[in-house]
Amino acid sequence: MKVFLSLFFALFSLNFISAQEIFTVPEFPTSDDSIVVFFDASQATGKGLDLNNYTGDLYTHTGVKTSSGDWRHVIGTWGNNSTQPKMDYVGNGLYKIEIGYPNDFYSTSEIILQMNFVFRTPDASSQSEDLFLTMYEPGVKMKLIEPASLPVFPEINDEQRITVVTSHAETIKFYYDGELVKESSTDTSSLIITESEPGRHQIKITAESEGLASVSDSSYIFFRDMIQVSELPRDIETGINYIDDNTVTFALYAPGKKFVYMIGDFNSWEFNPENDTEWELDPDYYMNITPDSTIFWKTLSGLTADKEYRFQYLVDGNLKIADPYADKILVSDDSDIPTSVYPNLIAYPSVKTEYPVSVFETSQDDYNWEITDFERPEKYNLVVYEMLVRDFVSTHSYKTIADTLDYLQRLGINALELMPVMEFEGNSSWGYNTSFYFAPDKYYGTKNNLKYLIDECHKRGIAVIIDIVLNHMYGQSSFVRLYSSGEYGPPTSENPWFNITSPNPAFSFGYDLNHESEQTQELVDRVNKYWLNEYNIDGFRFDFTKGFTNTPGDGGNYDASRIAILKRMASKIWEYDSTAYVILEHFAPDSEEKILTGEGMLIWGNMNYSYNEATMGYTSDLSRISWKNHTGFTQPGVVGYMESHDEERLMFKNLEYGNSSGNYSIKDFNTAIQRMKLAAAFFIPVPGPKMIWQFGELGYDYRIDYNGRLGEKPVRWDYLNDGQRLNLYKVFSELNKLKNSYDVFITTDFSLALSSSVKRIKLNDDEMNVIIIGNFGVTTGRIIPAFPDAGTWYDYFNADSIEVEDTNMEVFLEPGEFRFFTSKKIPFPNPLIITDVKENDISNTAVNEYRLYQNYPNPFNPSTNIKFAIPNTGLVKATIYNILAKEIKVLTEDYYDKGTHALSWNGTDSKGRYLPSGIYFCNLKSGSFNTTMKMVLIK
């Protein structure tokens, strides 16, 4: 061991101190000192901050921490230049503010523990991070200057300098492994140490002054062995590479980092430098480095097959990160995940470490896919169902959704789009705060649960699209934390994946990925390929692709560089999977989107405002639901939608703000539901892909801000017990089935008249023509359907037909009414005959026939006929009830002759409420004649 002594006989110069972002004179400020605070803008990091050459005005938002809380006694209000203090420019990027005596400056008599600052430009578009200055008690004080913190991990034979600055100290003493190795009488002093053998050593520093209490601090220096330089083995990717049942090779891309150790279950997490007991870093887990100094790697052997191992990378001795490519991540709030959702979840090692932890396991059971040759629906005829797992089923589990797929199949959708399911921060989330791209979030279930859901969807002809966030990530991500200026960001200039600040300050989320970076492009391609290959998904909805650029601004202008970035990404996807869907949430000018759709990509088409104006009964134009009304488009690449996760619910606004005229009010529930049916008829049949937001087909009417915009929403499966909502579902279902059954709904020969209150759609095809007319007004309207030919036209939803003699005939429509005409007779919505109807002859009297018909799915005439036979003449009382409720309805009391008769029932209970599917009984009673029919009602 060698110890070198180095003395500083003067206070640090201002230039030395100003290498810090914020500092004070005096160095150890107390409440009794007159204080000057300096801010070095050239060292600053923060939101929108690029002040290397900035010499303009700066202001400070400042307050203090006291025993009563943080950010107390703030001066002025944020962004108010007339009340918040202005900084003085010193030069060379350095600003100062004269605080003076802090209690006077902040107008408080409380004891100040800390001064807090945010520095900002006059328009507040650029600002620093929150910065803090400790207030000291009078007496001896000491602060570590070099290194920034202890412990430190120098390589053997390297010099390690330890420097401290003190105040009111007469003596500084340095102890090394308990031995006094230096004593100094200066305010600032350094100790330089080197070692030729690896090992752990204690360093202790004490500042003393006669008559005052001394202060001391101790920590460790760990001299590590020289790192092994070695080529990365063949066919090894960054991340976790399974070699065999007992061997795994790990690789971490971390250019500029000095060294990496692995800590985890395989070495009992033996790293705890704050513990007074002996600890070492086992050289068996010291990672090699490639000759170009970019990738650290290590092969572990002798592992137990089929055993989960938790682990982290310890980078440069002070940063613990999970493997960013791990397919399972543990975090501290995993304990909130029910065992019913994720059974046997390995515990987060809270007593061993902190921050996210990665998991690997050799010899895992592969999922046995039942569907390996799924034929994807044609992209231009998709009917997508957007789902947030958390708010669709109360269990928030993939398995429950898989058990509920019959509901979606009956609805007639052919694609399920899952909002982000990759590991996100927290448990209850929309998922757009993604932190790990390769690990499904455990709050929804296991990896195989997700694969099972996808497999079950494919069995039913339903494609699966995942929503993915490649515009940004949040601070829990290892890609962020590997190069960040704080524990959770923001990224530093060394970060190969991220911009320091977003070039789009108007729409900035999390930390902005730099899509011009080669490393980011490689990451994007790997993420996309992984999900297509590992989970058999059918495509992606990419969140906020407007942000896939480094062009400054709000993203609203044509951007050739963004087009190039997206074309490159799509080409890589199709190079691997030629039919995968690429859907963009873009919202850029038509001039840009026409190029992207011309390349085969799909773009989101937000029609929420227009459709809601229409359903509420106000002036509306629905024309842009058609790709033909997007300037220059040559392909039907617009995924139109009336609602999405991001938009207000139509039914909520109908009920809250609906228009009215006379006795007609859209605020009335039944009227509002009818308006939803009308909207669906002018939405789904329009050629081109469509998207339905979950429960829109049932008229979900909780506002988007219920329980906070991102908060959990009530799961209302009981809506199915409401006949009006159920009939809305039926209308959606029938329209979806029509769209996927007849070529006329993918025709390019169509015209729309959607700007007036009475609207029309005309679809033309060699096989069949379709004309849809509807009145979105609140008074009676009229329209010329413009039938192309005279003759018989079939009124689909009324199961009827009309004879057209005059093709210029007018049709009058009541408010909210629509008609759906076809030139060819196609099967009307057939009434479903209940197949489980059985007689129960209580009186032992023979009964000939009992059948229940439900006119389905006609929402305008939901009548039911109950046919029955009676052996005598007499007064018959018919009562419908079920096994769980009291009497539902007395239908009639009348005289009937012997023979077969029918009673008409509108499917409601005695209060007029529509009844759900289920088991019912119809009791027929007349004198000694007493018979009950058991009926299984399917709607």
* pLDDT per position as a tens digit, 905-934: 656 666 666 566 555 666 666 666 666 665
CB 183 within 8 A of CB 205: no
Position 281 confidence tier, pLDDT thresholds 50, 70, 90: confident
| Distance (Å, whole) CA 789 – CA 785 | 11
- Per-residue pLDDT at 861: 36
- Compute the distance between CA of residue 381 and CA of residue 437 in angstroms, rounded to an integer: 29
859 pLDDT band (50/70/90 cuts)? very low
Q: How far is CA 308 from the centre of its chain?
A: 28
Q: Are strands 864-870 and 690-693 parallel, antiparallel or unpaired?
A: unpaired
CB contact set of 724 (below 8 Å; sequence gap of 6+): 669, 670, 673, 699, 859, 914
Q: What's the rounded Cα separation, in Å, for the pair 689 and 541?
A: 13
Contacts of 304 (CB under 8 A, 6+ apart): 246, 362
Minimum mean pLDDT among 233-242, 702-711, 716-725: which range? 716-725
- For residue 62, the surrounding DSSP H or E stretch is strand 59-66
Q: Are the beta carbons of 912 and 862 closer than 8 angstroms?
A: no
Mean pLDDT along residues 286-314: 97
Average pLDDT, rounded, for the chain:
87
H or E segment at 736?
A: helix 723-739
pLDDT average, residue stretch 41-57: 68
Question: Closest Cα to residue 700, out of 777, 659, 617, 643?
Answer: 643
Listing DSSP states for 220-254 in one string gives EEEEBPPPPB-PPPTTPPSEEEEEETTEEEEEEE-
448, 434 contact by CB (below 8 A): no
* Rounded Cα gap, residues 633 and 623, in angstroms: 14
63 strand-pairing partners: 116
Region of poorest pLDDT, from 9-23, 237-251, 445-459: 9-23
Residue 788 C-alpha from the chain's centroid: 48
Residues 83 and 75 sit within 8 Å (Cβ to Cβ): yes
Average pLDDT over residues 654-663: 97
Give 3-state DSSP helix, strand, coil % of the chain, rounded to 5.
Answer: 20, 35, 50
Least confident window among 6-15, 91-100, 574-583: 6-15
Question: 782 by DSSP, 3-state: which?
Answer: strand
Task: Determine the pLDDT at residue 839.
Answer: 28
The upper half-sphere exposure of residue 769, i.e. CA atoms within 13 Å in the direction of its Cβ, equals 17
CA distance 600 to 522: 22
Over residues 143-179, the pLDDT tens digits come to 888 887 888 999 999 999 999 988 888 899 999 999 9
CA distances to 379, 402, 411, 533, 721 from 371, in Å: 20, 15, 22, 14, 34
How does residue 845 score in pLDDT terms, banded at 50, 70 and 90?
very low
CA distances from 834 to 120, 209, 847 (A): 71, 96, 18
The reported pLDDT for the residue numbered 805 is 93
Paired sense of beta strands 415-418 and 383-387, if any: parallel
Give residue 926's pLDDT.
64
- φ/ψ of 889, rounded to 5, equals -160, 135
Structure tokens at 302: 């002798």
Specify whether the CB–CB gap between 42 and 52 falls below 8 A.
yes
Choose between 294 and 856: higher pLDDT: 294
Which helix (H) or strand (E) segment is 888 a member of? strand 887-896
Among 481-485, 572-576, 847-851, where is mean pLDDT lowest?
847-851
Specify the pLDDT at position 867. 54
In the chain, the N- to C-terminal Cα span, in Å, equals 86
Of 473-487, 639-653, 834-848, which gets the smallest average pLDDT? 834-848
Q: Is the pLDDT of residue 47 over 90?
A: no
Least confident of 17-26, 285-294, 694-703, 866-875: 866-875
Determine which of 170-174, 247-251, 864-868 has the lowest per-residue pLDDT on average: 864-868
The more confident residue out of 659 and 486 is: 659
CA distance 840 to 931: 6
Contact 113, 135 (CB under 8 A): yes
pLDDT at 7: 33
Write down the pLDDT at residue 315. 96
Average pLDDT over residues 471-481: 96
Q: Cα angle at 543 between 541 and 544, to 5 degrees? A: 135
* The pLDDT value given to residue 5: 42
* pLDDT average, residue stretch 613-635: 97
pLDDT at 920: 64
DSSP letter at 376? P
- Which of 14-23, 292-301, 704-713 shows the lowest per-residue confidence on average (mean pLDDT)? 14-23
173: helix, coil or strand? strand
C-alpha 870/C-alpha 672 separation (Å) is 43
pTM of the model: 0.80
pLDDT digits 0-9 by tens, 209-222: 888 888 888 888 99
pLDDT at residue 783 is higher than 90: yes
Q: Using CA atoms, how far apart are residues 311 and 358, in angstroms rounded to an integer?
A: 6
Residue 764 has pLDDT above 80, yes or no: yes
Give the CB-side neighbour count of residue 15, counting CA atoms within 13 A: 1
The predicted pLDDT at position 15 comes to: 36
SS3 671: helix
At 799 the pLDDT is 79
- Phi/psi at 720 (5° precision): -65, -15
DSSP 493-548: TT-SSB-SS-S-TTS--SEEB-TTSHHHHHHHHHHHHHHHHHS---EEEETTGGGS
Query: HEC states along 78-136?
Result: CCCCCCCCECEEEECCEEEEEEECHHHHCCCCCCCCEEEEEEECCCCCCECCCEEEECC
Specify the amino acid at residue 668: D
Q: Give yes or no for residue 666 having a pLDDT over 70.
A: yes
Torsion of CA 370, 372, 375, 377, to 10 degrees: 70
| Token pair listed for 237 | 């990717």
**Segment 750-772 mean pLDDT:** 97
pLDDT band for position 139 (cuts 50, 70, 90) = confident
Read off the pLDDT of residues 367-416 as tens digits, 9 standing for 90 and up. 999 999 999 999 999 999 999 999 999 999 999 999 999 999 999 999 99
pLDDT tops 60 at residue 849: no
> How many residues are present in the chain?
939
Selection from 794, 905, 789 nearest residue 852 by Cα: 905
Q: What is the distance, to the nearest Å, from the Cα of residue 305 to the centroid of all Cα atoms in its chain?
A: 34
**CA–CA–CA angle 235, 236, 238 (5° rounding):** 145
Reduced to 3 states (helix: H, G, I; strand: E, B; else coil), residue 796 is helix
Handedness of CA 902, 907, 913, 917 (dihedral sign): positive
- Within 8 A by CB and 6+ apart from 562, the residues are 545, 546, 548, 549, 551, 555, 588, 592
Cβ neighbour number for residue 40 with a 10 Å cutoff: 19
